[in-house]
């Protein structure tokens, strides 16, 4: 949860150099459900950031290139920590969290601009090149997880439920167990052991069933990493499903999280119901260069374990070519 808390901080407060204060809040709602973190993005917030990034890049291309270079320069000390994979003290961990947070705006810029059709030329090319070698998300999360496990061994398997403000006063294992099942965390400081439905009712939000795009048995989505794959579908909802994924399978999931990594490394491709360009599945797929189609809205409803799927993530579609036996 530490890394997930840093994204909305960056989206709302960390872009002041090039983006006026983001008025659309909360930008992200994180929901821990049976050990998996679901990330619910505010579409208006994401659109606002994309528009501001595009305006900045178009109006001040040299300033945009300078901003990207500073991201690279500030990333060098982080690379040394990523290579180690773990830190020795709480002070070091807090300093690392601050460093990751302060440079995260550059990572957001790379992820958005590399897919932004309104931006051309050197800025787009530089962002695209940096994106292809980017491992900011997974490497930072690895350090967070390894260090929290080392400093707080009593947490054991509930490390994914640890938040930044827990580092000075770690909750009991009993509380962490409850969080692991249902826990809502929002960037404005709101955090509760409750279901997403309870949070939505409390705040006046509504769940809207989106229409599924596609015809002729073809389900469409958004390209996160291009590529073509044919393979059997394996549906992943929680960590209990990881063992069924074999080499060459196509993972189909509502959305992926860091604790899905053992299965993601085996899979040939990834298909999700939800997500945006900065979602976990999209970032990890680009880092591992695996075809990935996100935001299909209904892949987990349409496909079953064992269905033979054909995926063309570059064009943006996936379809069933044979039913499970």
The full set of domain ranges for the chain reads 2-198, 218-322
Rounded to whole angstroms, the Cα distance separating 30 from 40 reads: 6
pLDDT, mean of residues 106-126 = 91
| 154 confidence band (pLDDT: 50, 70, 90) | very high
The rounded radius of gyration (Å) of the Cα atoms in the chain is 19
Rounded to whole angstroms, the Cα distance separating 140 from 14 reads: 17
pLDDT, residue 211, reads: 66
pTM: 0.79
pLDDT, residue 102, reads: 92
CA–CA distances in Å: residue 283 to residues 51, 52, 67, 96, 242: 21, 21, 21, 21, 19
CATH of 218-322, one of 3.40.50.170, 3.50.30.10, 3.40.50.720, 3.90.1150.10: 3.50.30.10
pLDDT, residue 128, reads: 86
Of the chain, the percentage scoring pLDDT greater than 90 comes to: 61
Ranges of H-type helices in the chain: 2-12, 43-59, 61-84, 90-113, 121-132, 136-151, 173-181, 196-203, 261-266, 280-288, 299-302
């Amino acid at each position: 949860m530490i890394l997930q808390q840093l994204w909305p901080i960056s989206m709302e407060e960390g872009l002041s150099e090039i983006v006026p204060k983001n008025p659309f809040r909360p930008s992200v709602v994180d929901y821990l459900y049976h050990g998996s973190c679901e990330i619910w993005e505010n579409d208006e917030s994401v659109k606002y950031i994309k528009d501001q990034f595009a305006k900045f890049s178009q109006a001040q291309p040299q300033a945009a290139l300078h901003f990207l270079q500073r991201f690279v320069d500030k990333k060098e000390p982080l690379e040394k920590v990523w290579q180690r994979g773990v830190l020795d003290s709480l002070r070091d961990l807090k300093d690392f969290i601050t460093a990751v947070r302060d440079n995260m705006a550059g990572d957001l810029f790379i992820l958005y601009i590399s897919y932004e059709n309104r931006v051309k030329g050197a800025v787009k090319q530089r962002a695209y090149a940096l994106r292809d070698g980017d491992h900011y998300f997974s490497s930072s999360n690895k350090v967070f997880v390894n260090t929290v496990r080392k400093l707080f061994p009593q947490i054991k398997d509930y490390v994914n439920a640890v938040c930044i403000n827990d580092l000075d006063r770690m909750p009991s294992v009993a509380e962490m167990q409850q969080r692991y099942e249902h826990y809502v965390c929002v960037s404005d400081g709101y955090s509760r052991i409750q279901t997403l439905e309870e949070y939505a009712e409390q705040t006046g939000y509504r769940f809207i069933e989106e229409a599924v795009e596609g015809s002729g048995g073809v389900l469409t989505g958004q390209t996160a990493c291009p590529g073509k794959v044919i393979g059997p579908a394996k549906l992943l909802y929680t960590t209990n499903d990881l063992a069924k994924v074999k080499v060459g399978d196509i993972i189909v999931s509502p959305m992926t999280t860091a604790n899905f990594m053992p299965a993601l490394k085996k899979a040939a491709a990834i298909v999700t119901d939800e997500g945006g360009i900065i979602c976990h599945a999209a970032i990890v797929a680009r880092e591992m260069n695996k075809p990935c189609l996100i935001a299909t809205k209904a892949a987990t409803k349409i496909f079953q374990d064992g269905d033979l799927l054909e995926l063309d993530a570059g064009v943006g579609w996936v379809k069933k070519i044979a039913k499970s036996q």
